[in-house]
Structure 1
Amino acid sequence: MGGTLLAVCLASLATAAVAMGVTAVVARRLGRVAVVDVAWGLVFVAIAWVAHLVGTGSVRSLLLAVLVTAWGGRLAWHIRRRAVGAGEDPRYEKLLSEAPEGRRFAFAVRKVFLVQGLAAWFVSLPLQVAAATDRPLGWVAALGVLVVVVGVTFEAVGDAQLAAFKRDPANRGRVMDRGLWAWTRHPNYFGDSAVWWGLFVVAAEAWPGVLTVLSPVVMTYFLAFATGARLLESEMAKRPGYPEYMARTSMFVPLPPRKRARRP
């Protein structure tokens, strides 16, 4: 197994490097670093299929590749549709403001594309390890698939509810606090996290997949505290009504809305 796992890991690392390299070139031509957000889900799709082809070709790795394709394809399509006609993402604009004069692209490669490529490789370790095993699927894998489905559903429904809310002119200036958004301030981020915990469970059924537990932990940390929810809320909290929304609604894990709002 050792030789197969090494081959899968190296092939996956090369896939992440090539995918982010191509994304960087496209971003430079378009003048928008935010292109990387569209590519993010697709990088995992590419890694999943390369790992399956280089590995044992097991049913487990095929199942993971299909699940990741469904998740990553939907995410890329959603972000691409949302980004049409938009300018640079404020997060990247702020980051690039720190770039030395005349070295904006090189700075973006180092701070964005390289970092995200390595992050994608690390988070996808459950896929890579599973691709090097050939143990048959069992009930644990079925449980993992269920968690993935719940996660994708949370993402898709949450995104659809927010899009419908924004389309209604009557909601202009208001805070979305309906549907899933009444239970968690970030149903899309929570769903994303659930997907990767589910993928980990599928992989963990076959040794040594359980050792890749840090991958979903890291993904959840970034979604909740690093580049995801916390960063977004640093700006959202300035909007009228949002502090009150924060006081009555769970930040990440879905919970019943508080009847009496606490001070944020």
Structure 2
Amino acid sequence: MAPSGVALAVAAAIGLSIAVAIALPTWLVSLARRDASLADRVWSAFIAAPSAFYVVSLGGDARAWVMLSITLAWALRLGVHVTTRNWGHGEDPRYQAIRARNQPGFGLKSLWLVFLLQAALGWVVSWPQLAASGGGRSAWTAWDTLGAAIAVGGLLIETIADAQLTRFRRAPGHRDRVLDTGLWRYSRHPNYFGECCVWWGLGLMAVSAGGVAVAWCLASPVLMTVLLLKVSGITLLEQDIGQRRPAYRDYIARTSAFIPWPPKRDGTR
């Protein structure tokens, strides 16, 4: 029997509280270290912790546990990757820019501009797990198999892409070159493509569990896609990279921005 609407609302509220409870101490540490980019290190926890709570509190079925397993694997990989990548480098330049734009008093402002905002966004991204855990005990279908395959495939893609990028950045003289081999030959941001696949796959599984009544949970993959394409992802990263790395302009001309696709041989679009 599916949980009542009240039970889902209560679970959702507690899930948001869990995300906020992660954000607050991280914010305090960021004040001491003068590093608001610590938010990136706990971003995956904003999503995984509420997701785990939904399954445990609402008594999720096998589908919900499969979804949670994928989410936890995603969260562990991303958390470790971001932490090791940023370790010892101080505040990320993106956050330095945010800090400069919001002076004076950025320390206090960062509570809602960075930490509470990301906690709320992460909570929204966790909605497929809420929908699936509250969707009753419907049978596993081909849509679940497809969704799981998309999500796991996306996780593999972003894992491989990040590993290739890490190896490239460690190579001598990489600042004057462009990574255009491996998965990066077919997409300028294959890691972002893989990330979106994870959440669209989980969203598909959630809709399989609850039908059109839980279509609201698709706000999760839509939000993630918008963030990666238009907000903190491609648009932000590429706004001036062509000026800093002239070779990147040619890379843009021949390579798909997002969806992996064979590159243009003549550099035209």
TM bucket, shorter chain: over 0.9
Number of matched pairs: 262
Match of 1:227 in 2: 232
Match of 1:60 in 2: 63
Match of 1:77 in 2: 80
Query: TM-score, normalized by length of structure 1?
Result: 0.94
Question: Is residue 16–residue 47 contact of structure 1 (8 Å, CA) maintained in 2?
Answer: yes
1:7-86 pair list within 5 angstroms: 7-86=10-89
**1:243 aligned to 2:249?**
yes
Following TM superposition, the consecutive aligned residue runs of length 4 or more in structure 1 with deviations greater than 4 angstroms are none
Question: Is residue 7–residue 54 contact of structure 1 (8 Å, CA) maintained in 2?
Answer: no
Aligned letter for 1:111?
A: L
Aligned letter for 2:15?
A: S
What's the offset of the Cα at 1:136? Answer: 3.0
Match of 1:213 in 2: 218
Greater shift in the superposed pair: 243-252 or 92-101: 92-101
Greater shift in the superposed pair: 74-83 or 1-10: 1-10
User: SS in structure 2 opposite 1:234?
Assistant: coil
Question: Is residue 48–residue 126 contact of structure 2 (8 Å, CA) maintained in 1?
Answer: no
When residues 16 and 168 of structure 1 are mapped into structure 2, their CA distance, relative to the original with a 3 A threshold, is same
Distance in 2 separating the partners of 1:172 and 1:220: 28
Match of 2:112 in 1: 110
Distance in 2 separating the partners of 1:215 and 1:49: 16
**1:138 aligned to 2:144?**
no
Aligned letter for 1:235?
A: D
Distance in 2 separating the partners of 1:261 and 1:68: 38
Unmatched segments (≥5 aa) in structure 2: none
What's the offset of the Cα at 1:214? Answer: 2.3
Q: Deviations over 1:200-240 (max 9, x none)?
A: 01111022333322221111011011111110111322212
**1:258 aligned to 2:259?**
no
What's the offset of the Cα at 1:172? Answer: 4.5
Distance in 2 separating the partners of 1:234 and 1:128: 36
Match of 2:96 in 1: 93
Distance in 2 separating the partners of 1:62 and 1:213: 19
What's the offset of the Cα at 1:17? Answer: 1.0
Greater shift in the superposed pair: 71-80 or 110-119: 110-119
1:104-183 pair list within 5 angstroms: 104-134=106-136, 135-169=138-172, 171-183=174-186
Cα RMSD after superposing both structures:
1.5
Query: TM-score, normalized by length of structure 2?
Result: 0.93
Distance in 2 separating the partners of 1:178 and 1:202: 33
Percent pairwise identity: 34
What's the offset of the Cα at 1:170? Answer: 5.3
Greater shift in the superposed pair: 248-257 or 53-62: 53-62
User: SS in structure 1 opposite 2:246?
Assistant: coil
Distance in 2 separating the partners of 1:192 and 1:29: 31
Question: Is residue 151–residue 190 contact of structure 1 (8 Å, CA) maintained in 2?
Answer: yes
Match of 1:2 in 2: 5
